[in-house]
Structure 1
């Protein structure tokens, strides 16, 4: 049988003082004499007294826990983000509760409900690729549970977010391929539900127009980011009347699928530029010429800073118009050397 934990009430009875005096003495309150503080803390140590965290949380109206919902914890991009979130949160004495949506809208909605029921103080979210309705986040807003989005941002107004500038990153990527002599450049984009897919398309169009080239919508193929979806997108682009000699692809995983498929099934050399600049590039035999760095750790760290700031700032009155954090980090094209 395990021993029952010592309570403040028991310490008070043994020292013949009030419960409130014990509580104050344990917190070194200035209204309590040093002798009493010393006696209380010595006895608490001897009896192995542990503060009742549940009671403290209830008293303060906080659990000092933040929830994190990401598409895939196994992806190097999100692993890097997790490390930054944990480092930033733990420095402020917050616990991190992690969960993954596996890129499912339904699972994401279930996780938001579970996080709410676990009484997290706030949430950090990178949305699933299939998420197209956002009432689960509206529910959190009504409950005054702050949410900060990063990397994958929902296309809705009045949200806090940190994102990488995918439009300028795409302009850099297309311009890089144009300088390499390519004139017919395809784009394997992500799902239309993702805000970043729209940014990539905008950047792609702007880069072509800026270089006085005609925009051809048939040179864009959206995919669901799976290997099968990527293969279908590659085949669509390479069966085009104007067959591309280079392709900008949604991320390094999509590039990996696409390059492998091209090596096996298409004899003509296709140059690729990708996004994310993940470590996996170093283990590929055939790699993209360059990759757009999206700084996942920096995005996650800034998002965590924002969430902690929201949690520790005085609550605004209902009449006040809330200001929303909108932080954009500039991407950077990184040329691959091996």
Structure 2
């Protein structure tokens, strides 16, 4: 059986002094004589005594732990964000507690409760695709636990958030295809519950109007980001009265589902049907039928900035408990031309 950690109480019993004397001696309190302090420290070292960090944190009113709730840890996008979160948090002596919702609203709510019970000082969240209410996050304010949303953010006003400018990114993506001569451009968007889906839709419409073209709502379809749903969405686009020659997909995973399905239907990729996507996952660069372009959303920068904001909120909480300003950071996207040339958004 592993030995139990030595306590201050046990040291005090062996030296026949009070626990407060041992505690003060270990902290070099001036009220304790030098001889007693040396005896206490000597015995503590011999017994391999270690300070109870949990008790110390409890006294300080913080645990130096931040929670992170993401849809899927396995996605390359979120892996990059996690690296930034850990890099930034560890520099300021914070531990990161990770959890994934698997895009399930109920599990997300359960995870928020678990994070609260683990006494995290603050929370970083990218919401699930199915999250439709946000009371579970609002309730954290009662416990003085700040929340910073990033990437997938709620369509709410009074929140701290970091996200990518997907509207301008979509304008660039659609304009890119228009310049290549496409006119019947479909879009496989994400669930309506995601604010990011609304941003893509608005960007699509703006691109059409910017290029003096009429917006055709039948060319814009939604999916739930799964393979089966993506296939149904592509079927709907291919059945359109207009011959769709290009498709903008919600992200590179949706593009992969749509591309593979199109190939099964005998469609020649990047000849009969061309794609532009989002996220710019590194793996797409090694594929022979990669999307023509992908909108880079800079996950590392998003994760880094979100963590910096959360830690600043925790720091200012002690100095200014009634902090009321909300941080809403928008990271500019970049259209990456897979054919060789990057197009920086203006």
Q: CA deviation at 1:248?
A: 0.8
The answer (yes or no) to whether the contact 1:63–1:120 under 8 Å persists in 2 is yes
The equivalent residue for 1:170 is 170
1:183-262 alignment, distance < 5 Å? 183-262=183-262
**1:294 is the counterpart of 2:291:** no
Instruction: Count residues with an aligned counterpart.
Output: 337
Offset at residue 40 of structure 1 (A): 4.2
Shift of residue 26, structure 1, vs aligned partner? 3.3
Contact between 2:267 and 2:273, CA under 8 Å: does it hold in 1?
no
1:330 to 290, 312, 332: 332
- 2:296 and 2:335 in contact (8 A); partners too: yes
Q: What is the alpha-carbon distance in structure 2 between the residues aligned to residue 78 and residue 32 of structure 1? A: 52
Give how far 1:217 is off.
Answer: 0.7
Q: Counterparts of 1:248 and 1:166 in 2: how far apart (Å)?
A: 13
Separation in structure 2 between the aligned mates of residue 151 and residue 110 of structure 1, nearest angstrom: 21
Asked if the contact 1:186–1:248 (Cα under 8 Å) also holds between the matched residues in 2, the reply is: yes
How has the CA–CA distance of structure 1 residues 333 and 28 changed in structure 2, closer, same or farther, with 3 Å as cutoff? farther
Whether 1:314 aligns to 2:317 is yes
- Tell me if structure 2 keeps the 8 A contact 1:293–1:333: yes
1:89 maps to: 89
Distance change (3 Å), C-alpha of 1:69 and 1:321: closer
Q: How does 1:38-187 map to 2 (within 5 A)?
A: 40-187=40-187
Where 1:314 maps in the other structure, the secondary structure is helix
Separation (CA, whole Å) in 2 of partners of 1:3 and 1:315: 38
Alpha-carbon deviations, 1:85-128, whole Å to 9, x = none?
11211222222111111101111111111111222111111000
The equivalent of 2:288 in structure 1 is: 285
Distance across 1 between alignment mates of 2:216 and 2:227: 25
**SS at 2:212 equivalent:** coil
Residues 316 and 322, structure 1, Cα contact 8 Å, conserved in 2? no
Q: TM-score, normalised by structure 1?
A: 0.92
After superposing the two structures, state which structure 1 stretch, 36-45 or 244-253, moved more.
Answer: 36-45
CA 133–16 in structure 1, closer or farther in 2 if over 3 Å, else same: same
1:131-178 deviation digits (Å, cap 9, x = unpaired):
111111111123221111100001122111110100011011111111
RMSD between aligned alpha carbons? 2.2
Structure 2 unmatched runs, 5+: 341-346
Q: 1:297 to 1:217 in 2, by over 3 A?
A: same
Whole-Å separation in 1 of the counterparts to 2:213 and 2:266: 26
Partners of 2:293 and 2:320 lie apart in 1 by 49
Q: Structure 1 regions of 5+ residues with no counterpart?
A: none
Rate the CA distance shift 1:15–1:274 in 2: closer, same or farther, 3 A.
same
